[in-house]
């Protein structure tokens, strides 16, 4: 079921929306040639991106933003120590032209691209103009996947006209439909995927899940061209997050004593820290408490807590990773479609946290990649944090080794 022009194994690097939100002077994606050269040198043959299909090819009436998108980040100091949200902004990017520039540069290097969208989860929050977010929200919820399918159809037409169709490895209507502001019920997914698949039968079309129903894979909609599932085992990280109540919003007496014990000295109070513009919080699934917590965390104390408490979670985290990869692989064999792990393995940590990049985190990642290889998955990523905009990028040797191990398995 894998098109002949695509690699027999995909080693995926998660560029997400950062390829245009961190493209300013001195930032990781300022020069796409350099970013791609580094990516290929680490053993990756595929990048997974937010292609912003609704902005670039939707019928939002925002051509001016597609031609020149102002990047602002969450505004001011917000998010500067929060992973994925440390976006200084202060520049404009010609996103439509940059998109085709990326595809052409990938074609020259033999790099495949997974087209996805984070538009109903995060991307518009980093813009300096709220119109993108507001135009998306104006579309009735039940129609959003259909509109994404139509926009991606127009995008694929333009890609074909540019002679770049074979660069595309996979098309996802949206990232993590279970954790985004899009329909995630069976009929909506089936209808939208079928529409795009009929229009572009040569492409593999799907959506992705943030937490696949690994105990009930029969509930995954039929008609997907591939399975793109994310395998995170939060384990010890979840225990810490619950203790400090970092993922909620509107909690009384926040931050609690447990979070205060992990904060950097002289951190501002929650009230002093403030909140980003209301529309920016509406445009993302990250809460005000998360931004405050991650921005004020002492990464050394955070990591120390995880190391001190990891022991009781070791076996369950390894079992979760293996069982979930095995479940999605079995589903792929049942449906006769290729399966990928597009994100994994532990979860969401502060930008400066190093637990997942350390020996325990890398051992869990290796366990996931090796299980994926044993189970015959088509594609896998070394780690969600292994990309140009994360500190883990500096560990090139490990990425080279684990990518080569998967490709040669």
Q: How confident is the prediction along the chain (409 residues), in pLDDT tens digits per residue?
A: 799 999 999 999 999 999 999 999 999 999 999 999 999 999 999 999 999 999 999 999 999 999 999 999 999 999 999 999 999 999 999 999 999 999 999 999 999 999 999 999 999 999 999 999 999 999 999 999 999 999 999 999 999 999 999 999 999 999 999 999 999 999 999 999 999 999 999 999 999 999 999 999 999 999 999 999 999 999 999 999 999 999 999 999 999 999 999 999 999 999 999 999 999 999 999 999 999 999 999 999 999 999 999 999 999 999 999 999 999 999 999 999 999 999 999 999 999 999 999 999 999 999 999 999 999 999 999 999 999 999 999 999 999 999 999 999 9
Q: How far is CA 243 from CA 5, 29, 287, 299, in A?
A: 49, 36, 17, 16
Burial degree of 2 (CB within 10 A; 0-12, 13-18, 19+): middle
Q: Which residue has the tokens 């890398």?
A: 362
Question: What gap in Å lies between CA 406 and CA 397, rounded to an integer?
Answer: 15
Question: What gap in Å lies between CA 230 and CA 175, rounded to an integer?
Answer: 10
Report DSSP letters for 320-382, one per residue.
HHHHHHHHHHHHHHHHT--EEEEE-SS---BTT--TTTSHHHHHHHHHHHHHHHHTT-SEEES
End-to-end CA distance of the chain: 19
Output DSSP code: residue 286: -
Burial degree of 118 (CB within 10 A; 0-12, 13-18, 19+): buried
Number of alpha helices (DSSP H) and beta strands (DSSP E) in the chain: 17, 11
Q: Residue 24 is encoded by which pair of tokens?
A: 């300013």
Question: What gap in Å lies between CA 83 and CA 397, rounded to an integer?
Answer: 22
Question: What gap in Å lies between CA 128 and CA 89, rounded to an integer?
Answer: 8
Domain spans, the chain: 10-408
Q: How far is CA 35 from CA 42, 110, 188, in A?
A: 11, 14, 36
- Confidence (pLDDT) at 1: 78
Specify the DSSP element, H or E, that contains 106. helix 95-109
Choose among 157, 180, 156: nearest CA to 169. 156
Residue count (the chain): 409
Q: Contact at 8 Å (CB) between 20 and 89? A: no
CATH superfamily of 10-408: Glycosidases (3.20.20.80)
- Confidence (pLDDT) at 119: 98
Question: What gap in Å lies between CA 144 and CA 127, rounded to an integer?
Answer: 20
Q: Contact at 8 Å (CB) between 229 and 340? A: yes
Three-class SS of residue 170? Answer: strand
Question: What gap in Å lies between CA 5 and CA 199, rounded to an integer?
Answer: 20
- Confidence (pLDDT) at 109: 98
Q: Residue 32 is encoded by which pair of tokens?
A: 């796409």
Question: Whole-structure pTM over 0.85, yes or no?
Answer: yes
CA dihedral 198→203→206→208, nearest 10 degrees, is -160
Q: Residue 20 is encoded by which pair of tokens?
A: 């245009």
Q: Residue 119 is encoded by which pair of tokens?
A: 């538009």
Q: Residue 238 is encoded by which pair of tokens?
A: 């979840």
Q: Which residue has the tokens 């074979």?
A: 166
């Amino acid at each position: 079921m894998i098109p002949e022009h695509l690699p027999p194994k995909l080693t995926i690097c998660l560029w997400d929306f950062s390829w245009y939100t961190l493209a300013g002077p001195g930032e990781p994606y300022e020069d796409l040639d350099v970013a791609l050269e580094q990516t290929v040198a680490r053993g990756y043959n595929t990048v997974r991106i937010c292609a912003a299909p609704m902005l670039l090819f939707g019928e939002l009436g925002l051509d001016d933003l597609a031609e020149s998108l102002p990047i602002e980040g969450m505004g001011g100091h917000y998010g500067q120590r929060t992973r994925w949200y440390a976006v200084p902004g202060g520049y404009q990017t010609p996103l439509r032209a940059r998109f085709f520039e990326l595809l052409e540069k990938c074609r020259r290097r033999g790099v495949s691209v997974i087209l996805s969208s984070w538009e109903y989860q995060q991307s518009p929050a980093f813009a300096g103009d709220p119109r993108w977010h507001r135009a998306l929200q104006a579309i009735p919820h039940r129609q959003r996947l259909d509109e994404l399918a139509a926009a991606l159809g127009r995008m694929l037409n333009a890609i074909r006209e540019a002679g770049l169709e074979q660069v595309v490895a996979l098309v996802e209507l949206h990232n993590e439909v279970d954790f985004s502001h899009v329909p995630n019920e069976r009929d909506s997914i089936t209808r939208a995927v079928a529409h795009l698949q009929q229009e572009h039968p040569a492409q593999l079309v799907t959506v992705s899940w943030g937490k696949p129903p690994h105990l009930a894979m029969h509930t995954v909609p039929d008609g997907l061209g591939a399975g793109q599932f994310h395998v995170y085992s939060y384990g010890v990280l979840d225990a810490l997050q619950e203790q400090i109540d970092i993922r909620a919003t509107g909690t009384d007496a926040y931050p609690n004593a447990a979070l205060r014990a992990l904060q950097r000295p002289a951190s501002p109070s929650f009230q002093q820290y403030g909140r980003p513009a209301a529309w920016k919080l509406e445009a993302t699934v990250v809460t005000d408490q998360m931004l405050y917590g991650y921005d004020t965390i002492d990464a050394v104390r955070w990591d120390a807590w995880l190391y001190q408490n990891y022991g009781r979670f070791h076996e369950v985290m390894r079992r979760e990773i293996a069982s979930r990869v095995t479940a999605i692989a079995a589903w792929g064999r049942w449906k006769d479609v290729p399966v990928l792990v597009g994100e994994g393995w532990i979860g969401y940590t502060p930008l400066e946290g190093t637990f997942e990049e350390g020996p325990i985190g890398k051992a869990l990642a290796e366990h996931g990649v090796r299980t994926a290889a044993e189970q015959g998955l088509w594609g896998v990523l070394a780690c969600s944090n292994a990309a140009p905009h994360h500190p883990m990028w500096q560990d090139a040797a490990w990425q080279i080794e684990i990518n080569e191990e998967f490709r040669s398995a």
